[in-house]
Amino acid sequence: MSFELNGKVYETDDDGYLVNLDDWNEEVAGYIAQQEGVDMTEAHWEVVNFLRDYYQEYKIAPMIKILIKEMKKMFGPEKGSNAYLYQLYPAGPALQACKIAGLPKPTGCV
């Protein structure tokens, strides 16, 4: 599968995750978010940016509990909860936010 944006073709897997992680930029993220029905606000970007920073270092999306704890540390207790993340990303932070952040889907016994 693939999609086209501003004259460039982006390859995705069958679930719409970017195949080439280097393809990611904010425009691409905006497009994927739109497809997911997510209206990106500053709060949404906080999560996406954290995911990308984490991925740079660890080469995988963070465990949800790491995401929650780090959000709490960086942006305050009201943002460090599962409920808050689900409010931003109704299909789940692990799947939807990672997809918008251009991270691959974890595989295996998960």
Partner 1 sequence: MAKKTPKPEELSKVDYRRPRKGWMDIPVEFKEGMFCNGTRPGYLETVGMPNPRKWAPKDEDWKLPENWKEIVLNGMQERLEKYRSFRLFMDICVRCGACADKCQFYLGTGDPKNMPVLRAELMRSVYRRYFTTSGKIMGKYAGGRELTLDVLKEWWYYFYQCSECRRCSVFCPYGIDQAEITMIGREILNLLGLNTDWIAGPVANCYMNGNHLGLEPHTVKSNIEFMVDDIEEITGIKVEPTFNREGAEILFVAPSGDLFGDPGTFTAMGYMMLFHEIGLDYTWSTYASEGGNFGSFTSMEMGKRLNYKLYAEAKRLGVKWILGGECGHMWRVVNQYMDTWNGPADFLKVPVSPITGTRFENAASTKMVHIAEFTADLIKNGKLKLDPSRNDHLRVTFHDSCNPARGMGILDEPRYILKNVLNHFYEMPEETIREKTFCCGSGAGLNASENMELRMRGGFPRANAVKYVHQHHGVNMLANICAIDRAALPPLMNYWVPGVDVAGVHELVANAMVMKGEKERTQDLRLEDLPEKEGAENV
- Which amino acids are annotated catalytic? 109
- State which residue, 23 or 45, has the beta carbon closest to partner 1: 23
Min CB(51)–partner 1 separation in Å: 14
- Taking the complex as a whole, how short is the minimal distance between the CB of residue 45 and partner 1, in angstroms? 24
What track of x and - describes contact with partner 1 for positions 7 through 36 (by CB under 8 A)?
------xxxx--x-----------------
Q: Which of 71, 72, 63, 78 is nearest to 46 (CA)?
A: 71
Q: Beta strand pairing status for 8-11 and 2-5? A: antiparallel
Going residue by residue from 32 to 71, which x/- string records binding to partner 1, judged by CB under 8 A?
A: --------------------------xxx--xxxx--x--
Backbone angles phi, psi at 25, to 5 degrees: -150, 180
Q: Closest Cα partner for 43 from 87, 106, 94, 108?
A: 87
Show the CA angle centred on residue 37, arms to residues 104 and 21, nearest 5°: 20
Rounded Cα gap, residues 106 and 78, in angstroms: 27
The answer to whether residue 86 forms part of the interface with partner 1 (CB under 8 A) is no
Residues forming contacts to partner 1 in the complex (CB under 8 A) are: 13-16, 19, 58-60, 63-66, 69, 106-110
